[in-house]
Amino acid sequence: MSELRVAPSILAADFARLGEEVASVATEVDEIHVDVMDGHYVPNISLGNPVVASLRRATDRQLDCHLMITDPDTYAPQLVELGAESITFHPEVTDDPRALIAELHDRGARVGVALKPAHPLAMVEELLASVDMLLVMTVEPGFGGQAFREDCVPKVREAAAWRARLGASFRIQVDGGVSVEMIGAAAAAGADTFVAGSSVFGASDRPAAVRDLLATARAAMADGERHGSLRDPEPPDRARS
Ligand code: DX5
Ligand code: ZN
Protein backbone atom coordinates (compact mmCIF):
# COMPACT_ATOMS: atom_id res chain seq x y z
CA MET A 1 0.00 0.00 0.00
CA SER A 2 1.49 3.33 -0.98
CA GLU A 3 2.18 6.16 1.42
CA LEU A 4 -0.74 8.55 1.90
CA ARG A 5 -0.46 12.12 0.67
CA VAL A 6 -2.44 15.31 1.12
CA ALA A 7 -2.16 17.84 -1.71
CA PRO A 8 -3.45 21.28 -0.66
CA SER A 9 -5.41 22.93 -3.49
CA ILE A 10 -4.43 26.55 -3.97
CA LEU A 11 -7.87 27.25 -5.45
CA ALA A 12 -8.83 28.01 -1.84
CA ALA A 13 -5.79 30.24 -1.25
CA ASP A 14 -5.44 34.01 -1.59
CA PHE A 15 -4.28 34.46 -5.20
CA ALA A 16 -2.75 37.85 -4.40
CA ARG A 17 -0.33 36.20 -1.95
CA LEU A 18 0.25 32.81 -3.54
CA GLY A 19 3.92 32.44 -2.60
CA GLU A 20 3.18 32.97 1.11
CA GLU A 21 0.09 30.78 0.90
CA VAL A 22 2.08 27.86 -0.51
CA ALA A 23 4.83 28.43 2.08
CA SER A 24 2.21 28.19 4.84
CA VAL A 25 1.63 24.49 4.05
CA ALA A 26 4.94 23.50 2.45
CA THR A 27 6.48 21.95 5.55
CA GLU A 28 3.70 19.36 5.71
CA VAL A 29 3.35 18.21 2.12
CA ASP A 30 5.25 16.95 -0.91
CA GLU A 31 2.92 18.43 -3.49
CA ILE A 32 0.62 21.36 -4.17
CA HIS A 33 -2.54 20.87 -6.24
CA VAL A 34 -2.96 23.49 -8.96
CA ASP A 35 -6.41 23.70 -10.58
CA VAL A 36 -6.23 25.08 -14.11
CA MET A 37 -9.69 26.06 -15.44
CA ASP A 38 -10.38 27.62 -18.82
CA GLY A 39 -14.02 28.76 -18.62
CA HIS A 40 -14.95 26.18 -21.26
CA TYR A 41 -14.51 22.74 -19.74
CA VAL A 42 -15.90 24.16 -16.50
CA PRO A 43 -17.84 27.39 -15.91
CA ASN A 44 -14.98 29.09 -14.09
CA ILE A 45 -11.55 30.55 -14.92
CA SER A 46 -8.75 30.11 -12.40
CA LEU A 47 -5.13 30.40 -13.53
CA GLY A 48 -2.75 29.32 -16.27
CA ASN A 49 0.81 29.19 -17.50
CA PRO A 50 2.20 32.44 -16.01
CA VAL A 51 0.98 31.55 -12.53
CA VAL A 52 2.44 28.05 -12.76
CA ALA A 53 5.76 29.59 -13.84
CA SER A 54 5.68 31.91 -10.81
CA LEU A 55 4.76 29.06 -8.47
CA ARG A 56 7.70 27.08 -9.83
CA ARG A 57 10.03 29.87 -8.71
CA ALA A 58 8.26 30.24 -5.35
CA THR A 59 8.36 26.65 -4.07
CA ASP A 60 10.34 23.44 -4.29
CA ARG A 61 7.22 21.35 -3.62
CA GLN A 62 5.94 19.31 -6.55
CA LEU A 63 3.23 20.94 -8.65
CA ASP A 64 0.29 18.63 -9.33
CA CYS A 65 -1.66 20.35 -12.12
CA HIS A 66 -5.28 19.34 -12.61
CA LEU A 67 -6.37 20.52 -16.04
CA MET A 68 -10.06 21.32 -16.32
CA ILE A 69 -9.62 22.60 -19.85
CA THR A 70 -10.79 21.56 -23.29
CA ASP A 71 -7.34 21.59 -24.88
CA PRO A 72 -4.87 19.66 -22.73
CA ASP A 73 -2.99 18.57 -25.89
CA THR A 74 -1.73 22.15 -26.25
CA TYR A 75 -1.29 23.25 -22.65
CA ALA A 76 -0.23 20.11 -20.75
CA PRO A 77 3.20 19.89 -22.46
CA GLN A 78 3.71 23.61 -21.86
CA LEU A 79 2.98 23.21 -18.15
CA VAL A 80 5.53 20.41 -17.92
CA GLU A 81 8.11 22.66 -19.57
CA LEU A 82 7.24 25.32 -16.98
CA GLY A 83 8.08 22.85 -14.21
CA ALA A 84 4.93 20.91 -13.28
CA GLU A 85 5.87 17.40 -12.12
CA SER A 86 2.40 15.91 -12.47
CA ILE A 87 -0.38 16.55 -14.97
CA THR A 88 -3.91 15.22 -14.72
CA PHE A 89 -6.40 15.71 -17.53
CA HIS A 90 -9.98 14.69 -18.28
CA PRO A 91 -9.49 12.22 -21.13
CA GLU A 92 -12.85 12.64 -22.89
CA VAL A 93 -11.72 15.97 -24.35
CA THR A 94 -8.79 14.53 -26.26
CA ASP A 95 -8.95 12.44 -29.42
CA ASP A 96 -5.98 10.36 -28.37
CA PRO A 97 -5.42 10.26 -24.61
CA ARG A 98 -2.78 7.54 -25.00
CA ALA A 99 -0.67 9.80 -27.19
CA LEU A 100 -0.90 12.63 -24.66
CA ILE A 101 0.04 10.30 -21.80
CA ALA A 102 3.05 9.09 -23.80
CA GLU A 103 4.12 12.60 -24.70
CA LEU A 104 3.95 13.80 -21.09
CA HIS A 105 5.86 10.73 -19.90
CA ASP A 106 8.52 11.43 -22.54
CA ARG A 107 8.86 14.91 -21.08
CA GLY A 108 9.41 13.41 -17.64
CA ALA A 109 6.06 14.16 -15.97
CA ARG A 110 3.80 11.86 -14.02
CA VAL A 111 0.38 11.60 -15.63
CA GLY A 112 -3.11 11.18 -14.27
CA VAL A 113 -6.56 10.85 -15.78
CA ALA A 114 -9.64 12.27 -14.11
CA LEU A 115 -13.25 11.17 -13.84
CA LYS A 116 -16.14 13.52 -13.14
CA PRO A 117 -18.80 12.19 -10.75
CA ALA A 118 -21.00 11.01 -13.63
CA HIS A 119 -18.19 9.24 -15.47
CA PRO A 120 -17.80 5.51 -14.84
CA LEU A 121 -14.48 3.76 -14.30
CA ALA A 122 -15.05 1.96 -17.61
CA MET A 123 -14.24 5.25 -19.36
CA VAL A 124 -10.58 4.99 -18.34
CA GLU A 125 -9.99 1.30 -17.71
CA GLU A 126 -7.98 0.92 -20.89
CA LEU A 127 -5.69 3.76 -19.78
CA LEU A 128 -5.05 2.67 -16.22
CA ALA A 129 -2.07 0.45 -17.01
CA SER A 130 -0.31 3.51 -18.52
CA VAL A 131 -0.94 6.21 -15.92
CA ASP A 132 0.56 7.18 -12.58
CA MET A 133 -2.70 8.37 -11.06
CA LEU A 134 -6.47 8.16 -11.34
CA LEU A 135 -8.33 11.21 -10.05
CA VAL A 136 -11.83 10.43 -8.84
CA MET A 137 -13.69 13.74 -8.55
CA THR A 138 -15.88 13.90 -5.47
CA VAL A 139 -17.56 17.14 -6.56
CA GLU A 140 -18.60 18.47 -9.95
CA PRO A 141 -15.40 20.18 -11.17
CA GLY A 142 -15.29 23.95 -11.37
CA PHE A 143 -15.47 25.33 -7.86
CA GLY A 144 -13.91 24.82 -4.46
CA GLY A 145 -15.88 24.66 -1.25
CA GLN A 146 -18.53 22.16 -2.37
CA ALA A 147 -19.76 19.21 -0.33
CA PHE A 148 -18.04 15.83 -0.71
CA ARG A 149 -20.17 13.43 -2.75
CA GLU A 150 -20.33 10.14 -0.94
CA ASP A 151 -21.95 8.56 -3.99
CA CYS A 152 -18.48 8.69 -5.63
CA VAL A 153 -16.87 6.45 -2.99
CA PRO A 154 -17.91 3.15 -4.63
CA LYS A 155 -15.96 4.24 -7.72
CA VAL A 156 -12.86 4.60 -5.54
CA ARG A 157 -13.41 1.08 -4.25
CA GLU A 158 -13.90 -0.20 -7.79
CA ALA A 159 -10.69 1.52 -8.90
CA ALA A 160 -8.75 0.02 -5.98
CA ALA A 161 -10.03 -3.42 -6.92
CA TRP A 162 -9.04 -2.85 -10.53
CA ARG A 163 -5.59 -1.71 -9.45
CA ALA A 164 -5.10 -4.83 -7.34
CA ARG A 165 -6.25 -7.01 -10.19
CA LEU A 166 -3.88 -5.35 -12.68
CA GLY A 167 -1.05 -5.49 -10.15
CA ALA A 168 -0.68 -1.81 -10.96
CA SER A 169 0.56 0.95 -8.70
CA PHE A 170 -1.24 4.07 -9.94
CA ARG A 171 -2.27 6.41 -7.17
CA ILE A 172 -5.97 7.01 -6.51
CA GLN A 173 -6.60 10.67 -5.80
CA VAL A 174 -9.87 12.10 -4.55
CA ASP A 175 -10.62 15.77 -5.13
CA GLY A 176 -13.48 17.88 -3.86
CA GLY A 177 -14.95 18.47 -0.44
CA VAL A 178 -12.26 16.45 1.35
CA SER A 179 -12.50 17.24 5.06
CA VAL A 180 -11.54 15.51 8.28
CA GLU A 181 -15.14 14.23 8.42
CA MET A 182 -15.11 12.74 4.90
CA ILE A 183 -11.51 11.68 4.29
CA GLY A 184 -11.95 8.41 6.15
CA ALA A 185 -14.56 7.10 3.73
CA ALA A 186 -12.25 7.73 0.78
CA ALA A 187 -9.20 6.24 2.51
CA ALA A 188 -11.08 3.12 3.62
CA ALA A 189 -12.20 2.64 0.01
CA GLY A 190 -8.59 2.72 -1.24
CA ALA A 191 -7.77 6.34 -2.07
CA ASP A 192 -4.19 7.30 -1.18
CA THR A 193 -3.94 10.92 -2.34
CA PHE A 194 -6.26 13.60 -1.03
CA VAL A 195 -6.73 17.03 -2.52
CA ALA A 196 -7.92 19.48 0.12
CA GLY A 197 -8.66 23.12 -0.58
CA SER A 198 -11.06 24.77 1.87
CA SER A 199 -10.34 22.34 4.70
CA VAL A 200 -6.64 23.32 4.64
CA PHE A 201 -6.56 26.96 3.52
CA GLY A 202 -9.70 27.76 5.54
CA ALA A 203 -8.17 26.42 8.75
CA SER A 204 -6.62 28.74 11.33
CA ASP A 205 -3.72 26.29 11.77
CA ARG A 206 -3.05 24.94 8.29
CA PRO A 207 -0.16 22.59 9.15
CA ALA A 208 -2.32 21.05 11.89
CA ALA A 209 -5.19 20.69 9.42
CA VAL A 210 -2.94 18.71 7.05
CA ARG A 211 -1.70 16.50 9.91
CA ASP A 212 -5.28 15.85 11.08
CA LEU A 213 -6.36 14.86 7.58
CA LEU A 214 -3.42 12.47 7.23
CA ALA A 215 -3.91 10.92 10.66
CA THR A 216 -7.61 10.38 9.99
CA ALA A 217 -6.89 8.86 6.58
CA ARG A 218 -4.23 6.54 8.02
CA ALA A 219 -6.56 5.30 10.73
CA ALA A 220 -9.35 4.69 8.21
CA MET A 221 -7.00 2.90 5.82
CA ALA A 222 -5.75 0.63 8.59
CA ASP A 223 -9.37 -0.08 9.52
CA GLY A 224 -10.23 -0.78 5.88
CA GLU A 225 -7.34 -3.25 5.66
CA ARG A 226 -8.38 -4.96 8.89
CA HIS A 227 -11.91 -5.40 7.61
CA GLY A 228 -10.78 -6.51 4.20
CA SER A 229 -12.53 -3.74 2.29
CA LEU A 230 -9.28 -2.88 0.48
CA ARG A 231 -8.84 -6.41 -0.81
CA ASP A 232 -10.34 -7.68 -4.00
CA PRO A 233 -11.81 -11.11 -3.37
CA GLU A 234 -13.44 -11.29 -6.82
CA PRO A 235 -12.06 -9.67 -9.95
CA PRO A 236 -14.34 -7.02 -11.48
CA ASP A 237 -16.83 -8.55 -13.92
CA ARG A 238 -15.51 -6.80 -16.98
CA ALA A 239 -12.07 -8.26 -16.36
CA ARG A 240 -13.33 -11.82 -16.75
CA SER A 241 -14.34 -11.52 -20.38
C1 DX5 B 1 -12.67 21.55 -8.06
C2 DX5 B 1 -11.18 21.41 -7.91
C3 DX5 B 1 -10.72 21.03 -6.54
C4 DX5 B 1 -11.06 22.04 -5.48
C5 DX5 B 1 -11.04 21.40 -4.16
O6 DX5 B 1 -12.98 21.69 -9.41
O7 DX5 B 1 -10.69 20.41 -8.80
O8 DX5 B 1 -9.32 20.78 -6.55
O9 DX5 B 1 -10.16 23.11 -5.45
O10 DX5 B 1 -11.42 22.35 -3.21
P11 DX5 B 1 -12.26 21.94 -1.93
O12 DX5 B 1 -11.36 21.05 -1.11
O13 DX5 B 1 -12.56 23.24 -1.29
O14 DX5 B 1 -13.47 21.21 -2.40
ZN1 ZN C 1 -8.55 19.72 -8.61
- Please, what's the largest Cα pairwise distance for the chain? 53
* Distance of alpha carbon 84 from alpha carbon 82, whole angstroms: 6
pTM (two decimals): 0.94
What digits encode the pLDDT tens for the residues 19-31?
A: 999 999 999 999 9
* Distance of alpha carbon 154 from alpha carbon 115, whole angstroms: 13
User: Which of 10, 45, 40 is closest to 25 using CA atoms?
Assistant: 10
Ligand 1 binding pocket mutation candidate from 42, 175, 193 (most atoms within 8 A of CB): 175
Is pLDDT at 240 greater than 70 in this prediction? no
How far is CA 223 from its chain centroid? 23
Whether residue 67 has its Cβ less than 6 Å from ligand 1? no
Which structural domains are found in the chain, ordered by start? 5-230 (3.20.20.70)
Band (226; pLDDT cuts 50, 70, 90): confident
Q: Which DSSP category does 171 fall into?
A: E
Residues in CB range of 154: below 8 A, 6 or more apart: 189
- H helices of 167-205, in order, are 183-189, 198-201
